[in-house]
Amino acid sequence: MKLRPYLLFVCICISFGVSGQESTAISLPKRVYTTKKLKKTPVIDGDISDEGWNIVEWSSNFTEKRPDEGTPPTYQTKFKVMYDSKYLYIAIRAFDDEPDLIQQRLSRRDGFAGDRVNVIIDSYHDKRTAFVFTTTAAGVKGEEIISQNGNNWDSSWNPIWYTNAKVDEKGWTAEMKIPFSQLRFGKAKEQIWGFNVNRTIFRIQERSLWQRIPNDQAGFVSEAGELHGLKNLVSQKQLEIQPFSVFQQDIYPAEVGNPYRDGNDFKINAGLDAKIGITNDLTLDLTVNPDFGQVEADPGAIALDGFQIFFREQRPFFVENFNIFDFEFANGSDNLFYSRRIGRNPHRSANIQTGEFADVPQNSTILGAAKFSGKTNEGWSIGVLESLTANEFATIKQTNGSEREEIVEPMTNYFVARAQKDFNERNSFIGGIFTATNRFSDGNFTELHKAAYTAGIDFQHNWKNRTYYIDGNVIFSNVQGTEEAITATQRTLRHNFQRVGASHVFVDNNKTALTGTGGRIEIGKNGGDNWRFNGGVIWRSPELELNDVGFLRRTDEIIQFSNLNYLWQVPTKTYRNIDLGFEQSTFYDFEGNLNRVRYEVRGEISWINNWWTESGSGLSTNYFDNFYLRGGPRFRRPNTGYWYFFFGSDRSKLFSFTLGYSNRFTSENVVGRDRFAIRTNYQPTDALSMSLDIEYANLYDRTQYVTETKFNNATRYILGRIQNQTLTTTLRLNYSFTPDISLQFYGQPFISKGTFTDLNYVLNPTGNTINDRISVYDSNQINLQKDVYLIDENRNGNVDYSFSNPDFSFVQLQTNLVARWEYIPGSELFFVWSRGSVGNVNPSNDLLGSVSDQVFNQPANDTFLVKVTYRFTR
């Protein structure tokens, strides 16, 4: 197959058409700011002229970080820091000679839009984690927790603190008042904290730092300056209690005769969240009967390959401080802890007879959950999570009018323990994780694991000023259950032990446990000059199983990978920066089969006008798939190439957009895919923002899996040529009346339509050509009657086997309208209207017509919800 060359040519032109630039790693001294105890408390109104600030000095001399690292910024910034027994106070003056151009964009909390200043506090002084407090020129607050020395920024953290900002003729000013109870620090008589201030001038996309961090320096938190002078601080142990009440009205199409679906439901719910400071380092989070009613709905998705789809966690209790529990052991979404397993939908459906109706809970009730987490001054990161979900019962109305209950989900306990320890002057760490899932089913749920345990060890070591690193992890899993449960696990798609032709795996019907391993080892260069590289290996053994409280997509895989990047980091008259990369990987199974060799070259350019371009091209050869026939033999896929090209405008403008196209192609034209993406953002006023994203994909595959059946005591694997069209449109509208009052709308119609032609069966799964691998049914062999295909394979006039018409057209509509008022810091009032519908329409219908009909004509489910919370603090 001839790989299309033009995207490769673009990347090659980048590498040769731009003069190479080498930079020498710079070791910079730490800047120090020495604070003092205040004498008079300032009013936090954004006006820094209060005389209370006069006891400390200004610090300035910021250095540009982007786009032109190491140079003076367009406008300077200065700040002051002081403290009392309970609070840290920070004043900021952001100079700007064009105050009318300062971007004062309103948004809800953590919007991070417009001109802003981030105060970065490493109160642990562990040089890996930090707390970030952000104030925008409009007075919008935001907070983040940094981990992995700047590689992970988590905005789910919502502490109580106070801030305000004002624009004046010199630029803009901000004040912050941060309770020590929201920070974590040791017991030293005089504290030394890592400290930095970052200022963003939004209209020119310029960042500047108080403590300069050169672009060739690996790490971010570790390179911060220092805050001195904090003396005799007394731990302010956090105590926050937040009860809530929820009033919910559901309106939906009534089902005739179904007493549980009469078209209208009303319920009241109440619960409690609490945050208790056990020590100044460690916090206990509790939740009783949590409510997640205001959480945005999951996006629409269809998995043609049969594997489970990963959806991100959106529930506040599990999102906050997730970085402590995170244990991504390989690549993609594989993780030992996937919190969406907790409170999942029941495993069973109700067993009803003709004329009976059932009321089945949508999710398992979380009776209670607790998190114990934090980081000590000695370098220990600790996280413990315990959660218990209830027995769930379906209520069934019997034909004689009486009711009975049937259990559909057993009571389940979930436990996660995570720890890491820094050492070697914070250049190294070693950590571990342990998870346990235990179901209390009294023998009723023989199809589920009785117990599931995982454990892992992770490590990282950095040397030569963090320029080079080695890190990795090793994990173990053990699941236990009845012979029925373990046999079912062996037969799931992610394991495929029944795979025909495999000599290293087979289904053992007598097993009552599975034990597996996995991991990743990686070594690389993360700083220094313009070169970056890494390489390593990932493995998942056949018996590895994580999906009781983790996420695992597939097993039986060994991946060797390597990456090489070259960076141009000094702006010119044409561009701000360029990243050119090359990736290579090979895939094996535990039988030793080479299943894939993959290459990719890519380039990313940030232009001097703040527009950007990214493109790439790749090729996969020697391509075999152990899972494609879902229990059948190893199947040869065609050599596959792809290329993509995306570009976008300046994101700082009131209107910005992204346009993109990607293409997949193969030898013998077996598979083809075109994908188009349009993303727009518009900010007509400081208070109103809107975005519209449209993605359309058109896929054809001559060997899309359909089903399997029997023919003459042999298994027939049925495939077909699918045309799969997918259209996703996502609209978001945000209006902020103030930083504390906002109105948000989210709407997403989604359709995926698949129509099949040229149905065929597998002849030789590893044949060299497509005609060797499959045989297409001719008109004398296949007949469609009443949506069922009747097959006369040997053409003798008798039906040999049959299968259902695989055509589909799935349409989903999800909308959310949320009004939010943070009436006092930490206490909120929500008004929510959710509207959604799901339908299967005629696959022969027009794509846009099907979407329009689902949005405007089909009956939908409406949920009206009022939620009020109040946070008591000490």
pLDDT digits over 622-681, tens only? 999 999 999 999 999 999 999 999 999 999 999 999 999 999 999 999 999 999 999 999
Per-residue pLDDT, averaged over 19-28, amounts to: 50
CATH number, domain of 58, equals 2.60.40.1190
Distance CA 383, CA 377 (A): 15
Q: Residue 374: what pLDDT?
A: 80
Per-residue pLDDT, averaged over 226-247, amounts to: 87
Distance CA 697, CA 677 (A): 9
Which pLDDT band, with edges at 50, 70 and 90, does 295 fall under? low
Would you say residue 732 lies in a domain? no
Radius of gyration over every alpha carbon of the chain, rounded to an integer in angstroms: 29
87-143 residue pLDDT tens:
999 999 999 999 999 999 998 888 888 999 999 999 988 888 899 999 999 999 999
First to last CA, the chain: 69
User: 799 versus 441: which is more confidently predicted?
Assistant: 799
Q: Residue 387: what pLDDT?
A: 94
Q: Residue 149: helix, strand or coil by DSSP?
A: helix
51-65 residue pLDDT tens:
999 999 999 999 999
Please state, for a pLDDT cut of 90, what percent of the chain lies above it: 70
User: Per-residue pLDDT for 183 more than 80?
Assistant: yes
β-strands 827-840, 225-231 pairing? unpaired
What is the DSSP secondary structure assignment for residue 7, as one 8-state letter? H
User: Per-residue pLDDT for 294 more than 80?
Assistant: no
Would you say residue 719 lies in a domain? no
Distance CA 139, CA 144 (A): 16
Q: Residue 155: what pLDDT?
A: 84
Query: Are 293 and 268 a contacting pair, CB within 8 Å?
Result: no
Residues 6+ apart with CB under 8 A from 683: 105, 113, 654, 655, 689, 690
Would you say residue 520 lies in a domain? no
Query: Are 683 and 689 a contacting pair, CB within 8 Å?
Result: yes
β-strands 36-37, 77-83 pairing? parallel
Residues 6+ apart with CB under 8 A from 416: 325, 337, 383, 384, 385, 433, 434, 435, 549
User: 353 versus 559: which is more confidently predicted?
Assistant: 559
Q: Which helix (H) or strand (E) holds 238?
A: none
H-type helices in 507-582, by residue range?
Answer: none
Q: How high is the mean pLDDT of the chain?
A: 90
Phi-psi region of 722 (alpha: psi -120 to 50; beta: other; left: phi over 0): beta
Which pLDDT band, with edges at 50, 70 and 90, does 443 fall under? low
Residue 144: name the closest of 220, 213, 79 by CA: 220
Would you say residue 104 lies in a domain? yes
Residues constituting the chain: 874
For 628, phi then psi, to 5°, come to -60, -40
Q: Could you give the number of structural domains in the chain?
A: 1
Query: Are 523 and 532 a contacting pair, CB within 8 Å?
Result: no
Q: Residue 735: helix, strand or coil by DSSP?
A: strand
Q: Residue 674: helix, strand or coil by DSSP?
A: strand
Instruction: Give, in order, the Cα–Cα distances in Å from 398 to each of 54, 262, 348, 356, 402.
Output: 78, 17, 19, 5, 5
Q: Residue 5: what pLDDT?
A: 39
Would you say residue 730 lies in a domain? no
Q: Residue 4: what pLDDT?
A: 40
Would you say residue 202 lies in a domain? yes
Residue 629: name the closest of 766, 516, 805 by CA: 766
User: Per-residue pLDDT for 11 more than 70?
Assistant: no
Block residue for tokens 């359309």: 696
Which pLDDT band, with edges at 50, 70 and 90, does 505 fall under? very high
Distance CA 371, CA 380 (A): 16
Q: Residue 272: what pLDDT?
A: 87
Residue 126: name the closest of 368, 423, 440, 530 by CA: 423
List the domain range (segments joined by +) for residue 104. 31-231
